[in-house]
Amino acid sequence: MNLRGIHAIYRFEMARTFRTLTQSIASPVLSTVLYFIVFGSAIGSRINDIDGLSYSSFLVPGLVMLTILNQSVSNASFGIYFPKFSGTIYEILSAPISPFEITCGYVFASATKSVIVGLIILFTSSFFIDLNILYPFWMIIFLILISFTFSLFGFIIGIWSDDFQKIQLIPSFVITPLTFLGGSFYSINMLPEFWQKVSYFNPIVYLVSAFRWSFYGNSDVNIMTSIIAILVFLLFCIILIYLIFKTGYKIKT
pLDDT of the chain, 253 residues: tens digit per residue: 778 888 888 998 888 777 776 666 777 778 777 777 777 666 666 667 777 777 778 888 888 888 899 889 988 888 888 888 777 777 777 878 888 888 889 999 999 999 998 888 888 888 777 788 899 999 999 999 999 999 999 999 988 888 878 888 888 888 888 888 888 888 888 888 888 888 889 989 999 999 999 998 888 888 999 999 999 999 999 999 888 888 877 666 5
pLDDT of residue 23: 67
* SS3 state of residue 126: coil
Measuring CA to CA, which residue among 192, 196, 203 is closest to residue 233? 203
Burial 9-39 (b: 16+ CB within 10 A, else e): bbeebbebbeeeeeebbeebbeebbebbeeb
pLDDT of residue 42: 64
φ and ψ of 183, to 5 deg: 85, 15
207 vs 212: CA distance, rounded Å:
9
Q: Does residue 79 contact residue 109 with C-beta atoms inside 8 Å? A: yes
pLDDT of residue 24: 67
4 vs 123: CA distance, rounded Å:
33
pLDDT of residue 167: 84
Q: In whole angstroms, what separates CA 43 from the centre of its chain?
A: 26
pLDDT of residue 232: 93
pLDDT of residue 140: 94
pTM value is: 0.88
Contacts of 196 (CB under 8 A, 6+ apart): 188, 189
